[in-house]
Structure 1
């Protein structure tokens, strides 16, 4: 059955790719024909999507290897095999930048809509500690090693730290949902699902602010960008959410739900914020505005009893991510790595940064969870593994510093960040996925085996909060 499904999908995608290619190749516009011919922008992106889809299918045969690992390897293959790279070509910087921005928008939107603000407020201490303490420890450690080992400027080093410390929701969330559904370690899984969104938000906004400082020349002259992006992003996100709700163009109590319409409107606003922020050099503020907008809109839907609209819109976004955006993004990021220009010394230093930063992160998890009464040592050990995989944020942001480079030195620093991010994905994503799959049944307790004492402590805490 699986082989038949693979063949069926191969035929479908081959037909779609052929039809789109012929549409471009026979167009009356010379620029459109050029985009559809070998090495043209459309030709490269269409082939990247086609290869990414089948790399994801191949990954299902070697589960629990995440599809994104195979998709990145496929992108590296397309870029570096001589006979193939001359016929497929490489996506232009502008085209790959648009793909990454769209992917970042989807990442932020999915994280914002999935974040339960009410649950987060009730568990703010546990969620905040798990989201912030490990990431901050890894960020500071990686930034310090970036300065001392890679020899990059301070602002760029902190951009590297934030780039490396964001965990991958694409790798962590699906097994957590499955384990919770199976009745195994539900308390731990609930904490993972809530804290992972906060972790991603913290890292994306932090990276955006640091990258904005780097793009502004760094130093004290760019310090004003930090409070400006925080205040501007918060205000813009709240204002956009309020305006959209009052306008009545999204689902409301008096208006029927439409997941496709709501998704199109939300994504249009998110893309407008991200591209405007990119033009202004305020990437962190744009990311914060998108998050605040989506969290605020989701909370308003819940308060109005429109949970179904929120669920359907989130599901639509997930399909868009899984079927189109993720395969294209990870192949494109793999195609950005030129093995002939790979610096072995930088690669060794990058692996050292990833390893030491991972140790700091693991210690941060143990520190953040030491006062959670519902967790024993085995569950805390599992959390250190679940907090390991990196992929989505790194793929979406890896080339930002390189894209905005203005001179040779900044381009060299951008290449170091890109190379480190790719190695981080290739090492931690499959390793984390394998560890989660192997150790979950061995370290997590079934829900019906939770000690009575722990249950009573949790109940008393909830009653005090109420």
Structure 2
């Protein structure tokens, strides 16, 4: 029985599907489920934007709790299933003109007002009374804003076919009005030391701009006529004004030459924009008259500033005459040497591999320029600071190469800030109550005589320079506006006289400043009008009859024009006709720069009987 009893079948060793493991015991209820209220069904579509979906671990695997977070979008959409409150809508008419919250121009205005209020609050909490009416900071702020508004208003004055008036006139007039209106004068007060410091900073900035603006290539290639125009009229006007002011106004010789060199400089702020407008319209471009005047203007200013600083050092020096002369030479030599040393230093530091090289170079140029202007006065050589600034900026720009343009842009931004302060402060120095009619009349007479001599001598300087009579007259008339340099160096002598607390020297300094302001008021608008009116009438505008209308440049036109030009040349050669016009055209095209040498030539030839033909060339230059 036991043998015949069937034994249970042994399991087949072949692999087979393994049975499912027994489920793990359920974990204990988690307190987290009691704290989080899950929506019905626990579906994602029923969750609000502020809720999160938590997947609680219910088995041994996975070991990490999963969590899904839903962020609030930038413009949340109201879910009708969860939020039935209607959105708040502003009045349509009010929302059209004043959106809520404000945007665009209104938001920008509110932001600027808020920034200004915060800035005023911070400064007031530090300086207290200086920010209140009658304080220096309050007066400087009001003067800056008024000068800025005055410059904008004058810039909006546009006459047809005339260059715009220089904004500096509005800045100067605003400063003059703030000083001479009785009610405003009491609230807008600026200490003369604050005023002198701000003007000296502006002087350092404009000297740095002048040094960076010098082109070494143009300096090496200057022709004799440019040197004559830059140096001759400046020196002649300075000497004439010195002699006239000595005998008419009773100034000492050294102060007469200070006034002469103040008046001897031409203003780039008036000449350069006017010349650019004429150059854009094509007047005088054929003979390079705008380029000549713009290039000579910088050297004219440098010569006038150098002479002014030398005479200024002699005027405030103590000792014998020979010592003062030697002192002037030493100031020029010392300023040049210091400028060369500092210029070569900032050529290489910071190096080109550093970050923010442009900002570092701009800071060094401006910082060293301001240090040179102020430090030279502290060292007892006030005439060397301006020359040092010019030399160091020029040499630094030479070493920077093309990167100099970016530094010039930063310096121009700084000048945009200090320009309203400079002209506004100069206008505020003139008080009608302290002016004498005799001084004003003699100053205007000295100015007009010096201008007449300058115009006549400019005509002499451009003789045998290849210009006709009309062009010579235009150069002489355009070479007289005064503004920026007179504003920068005019008050310097008065500031130094106030430092000495000498009433006689202060009187001389006030006379120099008065004539400088009169020269700006008379010659700046008159010069801009003369250049705008006489330029189109006295200068020649080339009429290029050989060329047709300009065509829009594109690559296909270039290749079509090149192919057409080759076809015309082969056609002319095949007929055995010597076309002089073709050779003149091709030779002229080779001499143009690449941007204008690329041209399109559309040619059509009509053959007539007996071998004759008519060749028509239509040249479109771009």
The verdict on a shared fold, with TM-score over 0.5 as the criterion, is: yes
Q: 1:51 aligns with which of 146, 159, 177?
A: 146
Q: Which residue of 1 aligns with 2:507?
A: 412
What is the CA-CA distance between 1:39 and the residue it aligns to?
1.8
* Residue aligning to 1:83: 183
- Picking from 388, 397, 403, the partner of 2:489 is 397
Once residues 399 and 210 of structure 1 are traced to their aligned partners in structure 2, the CA distance between those partners, rounded to angstroms, is 14
Question: Could you say which residue in structure 1 is the equivalent of 2:343?
Answer: 241
Residues 22 and 280 of structure 1: is their aligned pair in 2 closer, same or farther, counting only changes over 3 Å? Answer: same
- Choose between structure 1 and 2 for higher RCO, CA contacts under 8 A separated by at least 6 residues: 1
Question: As a proportion of its length, which structure holds more strand?
Answer: 2
- Equivalent position of 1:207 in the other structure: 308
- The 1:76–1:19 alpha-carbon spacing in structure 2 relative to 1, beyond 3 Å, is farther
Query: Partner of 2:396 in structure 1?
Result: 297
Trace 1:16-415 onto structure 2 (pairs within 5 A).
17-27=116-126, 32-63=127-158, 64-89=164-189, 91-186=190-285, 187-217=288-318, 219-246=321-348, 248-249=349-350, 252=352, 254-255=353-354, 258-302=357-401, 307=402, 309-322=403-416, 324-373=417-466, 375-405=467-497, 406=500, 407-415=502-510
Offset, 1:72: 0.8
Per-residue deviation at 1:329? 0.7
- Normalised TM-score (structure 2): 0.66
- Could you state the TM-score of these two structures normalised by the residue count of structure 1? 0.87
Report the RMSD for the aligned CA atoms in angstroms. 2.5
Secondary structure of the corresponding residue to residue 224 of structure 1: helix
Q: Is the 8 A contact 2:123 2:131 kept in 1?
A: yes
Q: Mind listing any 5+ residue stretches in structure 1 that lack a counterpart?
A: 460-466
Structure 2: give runs of 5+ residues left out of the alignment.
1-103, 159-163, 546-583, 592-622
TM-fit CA distance, 1:174? 1.9
Displacement of 1:195: 0.7
Residues in 2 aligned to 1:14 and 1:265: alpha-carbon distance in whole angstroms? 33
Deviation at 1:273, TM superposition (A): 1.0
CA distance in 1, matches of 2:299, 2:179: 35
In structure 1, what is the Cα distance between the partners aligned to 2:254 and 2:326? 14
Quick one: distance in 2 between partners of 1:152 and 1:439?
A: 36
Find the residue that maps to 1:272 and give its secondary structure: helix
How far off is 1:319 after superposition? 2.7
Match for residue 462 of structure 1?
Answer: none
How many Å separate the matches in 1 of 2:166 and 2:264?
19
